[in-house]
Amino acid sequence: MKKVQKLFPSMDGNDFQREEILSYFRTILTKIDELKDPNKLTLGEMPEYTEDYYNRVIQKADVPKTGVSMEEVIQKLLKLVEGHRYVNRNYVANAAPLPNIASIIGNLVMVLVNGNNIWDVEGPAAATAEIEVTSMLSKLIGYDESISAGYTTWGGQGAVFNSLRLAIARYAPSSNQSGVPQNLYCFCSELSHYSLYKSVEATGIGVENMIRVKVNADHSMNLEDLKEKMEHVIAKGGIPLYVLATMGTTDTFGVDDIEGIKRIAEELERTNGIYPIYIHADSAMGGMYTFFNNYDFESNPLRFENNVNEVLKSYQQKFKHIKLADSMVFDFHKLGQTPYITSLFLIKNREYLKYVDLDAEETPYVGNRSYGSYHTGYTLECSRMGSALTIYASLLAFGIEGYQELLANYIRVNITFRETLIKEVSNVVITNEVSPITTFRFYPEKTIWNDELNGLLTVEEITEINQFNDEFAEVIGAERDTVFFGNTKKQRLVEVANSSKRISVYAHKFFAISPYTTIEEVERYVGFLKEHLEFFLKTRSSENVIIRS
């Protein structure tokens, strides 16, 4: 066993084994740093992803008969890292984080102590961190920390699934034994994340009982349409169980009016004598902006520019009502810049957890002892990583003001990008409100965005413009090693002149996620787009001439 024991950290904290593991860390950090290039997106060169790339990986893969040296393990890991995207100033595609140093340290502590967060006996460090983080964030958003609860889970998707599970069990406590009632309905924006779609599939409610609600021009849920559709469900004997309020859509950062949603829910409950409707704030994208809930925009102590200040002030008006939701989520691994996966599912009233907690006889080997007092038998996971330590470390290092500075920069850069893009490119329109995300759409000739919005174009005309943007996305995507822009095939749905069916609008995305994305970089981003657009228009025009001739 002596040889095998060398593969583990020391039992007694001796200097030799500590220096050995530190030397491995040092090698990995040094080698990854050597691959960094601020002018490229990737760490080293990207591999050629031919059609048979992963098939060749499959064919070559084998577990070695005898273990290789740690040096060779590190060498092979570093080989996998080569070509990996690095969220530096060249990454403006999606909400992919560059983990901050404190969060990396928190993650390391989590790995080194390796507690199972299901029970404080098995993971006391993470359990305490989870309770502390839950209290911190409850106070931040306006939940009563003495009755709220929270636990880390598998991202925004996990929070949606957990909240729907709570909603079902709260409405029908016997459903855990007898199954889900067949007349339950869920409501969400037509631009909401697909998390609810997957969750109604998994819970047995069914996709047919998920009602999509139209959106307003600012991509928020249309409350009139919500009320009308909920009333229709009630009229035919259905139960409006759950509303997903999106607090920052994935592509456009549309923020639903949660105060208005709550008002409609309570009105329908009173009028129809129905059970309270569960509201979950899907704040995976936008939840970090609750850090401005108590910011004084009049005195503006952090001296934000006027245009930035106005946007943040408008967010405060929207996010301060998030406390009306029955639950919400903080996805720190998005705008909070921590490693995957660091999400906290936050519940307004911990009493809800009794509906999904396991009976003691179902957990004979964990919890329910005279020792230990934090047993999370209500989570879907049994083995649960202690990622609250990562969140905790990040909150301590940044504080409220540190996060406010970071979140304000996302807005600052997007404002500058919008202004510069419109100034430099004539055939482009901005298609969403000012936010950490800018969506924009190009046209083969002149812009006709207003005609698209007003339903004056045909399906064929919009499809042609979509195709133009899709082809251009392929062009700049091939050059993503220089600058990596995002794109979406559902920026919004618009009416058309020759069909009753609405059609999706394609758009490009600029997401200023990296702390190294600053206003000084904006001219380079726009220059990249302008250069490639000119090339694309010329080659596309030449191809059309050849086809016609």
Q: Which residue has the higher pLDDT, 118 or 523?
A: 523
Query: Which of 219-248 are b and which e, b meaning 16 or more Cβ less than 10 Å from the residue's Cβ?
Result: bbbbbebbbebbeebbeeebbbbbbbbbbb
**Mean pLDDT score, 62-91:** 96
Reported as a pLDDT band with limits 50, 70 and 90, residue 366 is confident
Per-residue pLDDT at 543 exceeds 70: no
Q: Judge contact between 473 and 538, C-beta under 8 A.
A: no
pLDDT digits (tens, 9 = 90+) for 288-314: 999 999 999 999 999 999 999 999 999
R_g of the chain, CA atoms, integer Å: 26
Query: Which of 105-134 are b and which e, b meaning 16 or more Cβ less than 10 Å from the residue's Cβ?
Result: bbbebbeeeebbbbbbbbbbbbbbbbbebb
Reported as a pLDDT band with limits 50, 70 and 90, residue 361 is confident
Reported as a pLDDT band with limits 50, 70 and 90, residue 547 is very low
Per-residue pLDDT at 148 exceeds 70: yes
Other C-beta atoms closer than 10 Å to the C-beta of 341 total 16
Residue type present at position 355: Y
Reported as a pLDDT band with limits 50, 70 and 90, residue 548 is very low
Question: Given CA atoms 462, 466, 472, 475 in this order, what sign does their dihedral have?
Answer: negative
Looking at domain 410-548, what is its CATH homologous superfamily?
Answer: Aspartate Aminotransferase, domain 1 (3.90.1150.10)
pLDDT digits (tens, 9 = 90+) for 387-441: 999 999 999 999 999 999 999 999 999 999 999 999 999 999 999 999 999 999 9
Task: List, by residue range, all CATH 3.90.1150.10 domains of the chain.
Answer: 410-548
Look up the CATH architecture of domain 114-404.
3-Layer(aba) Sandwich (3.40)
pLDDT digits (tens, 9 = 90+) for 484-499: 999 999 999 999 999 9
Please, which residues have CB within 8 angstroms of residue 210's CB and are 6 or more apart in sequence? 185, 186, 187, 188, 196, 197, 200
Q: Is 299 helix (H, G, I), strand (E, B) or coil?
A: coil
**Mean pLDDT score, 44-72:** 93
**Mean pLDDT score, 497-518:** 96
Please, which residues have CB within 8 angstroms of residue 429's CB and are 6 or more apart in sequence? 440, 441, 443, 447, 449
pLDDT in the model for residue 14: 96
pLDDT in the model for residue 549: 42
Per-residue pLDDT at 545 exceeds 50: no
Reported as a pLDDT band with limits 50, 70 and 90, residue 530 is very high
Residue type present at position 58: I
pLDDT in the model for residue 185: 98
**Mean pLDDT, rounded, of the chain:** 95
Per-residue pLDDT at 546 exceeds 60: no
Q: What are phi and psi of 282, to 5 degrees?
A: -80, 85
pLDDT in the model for residue 164: 98
Share of the chain above pLDDT 70, in %: 98
pLDDT digits (tens, 9 = 90+) for 438-482: 999 999 999 999 999 999 999 999 999 999 999 999 999 999 999
pLDDT in the model for residue 358: 84
Q: How far apart are CA 78 and CA 74, in angstroms?
A: 6
Q: How far apart are CA 295 and CA 316, in angstroms?
A: 8
pTM, whole model, 2 decimals?
A: 0.95
Task: List, by residue range, all CATH 3.40.640.10 domains of the chain.
Answer: 114-404
Q: Judge contact between 116 and 515, C-beta under 8 A.
A: no
Out of 99-113, 182-196, 363-377, pick the least confident.
Answer: 363-377
SS (H, E, C) 496-524: ECCEEEEEECCEEEEECCCCCCCHHHHHH
Q: Is 435 helix (H, G, I), strand (E, B) or coil?
A: coil
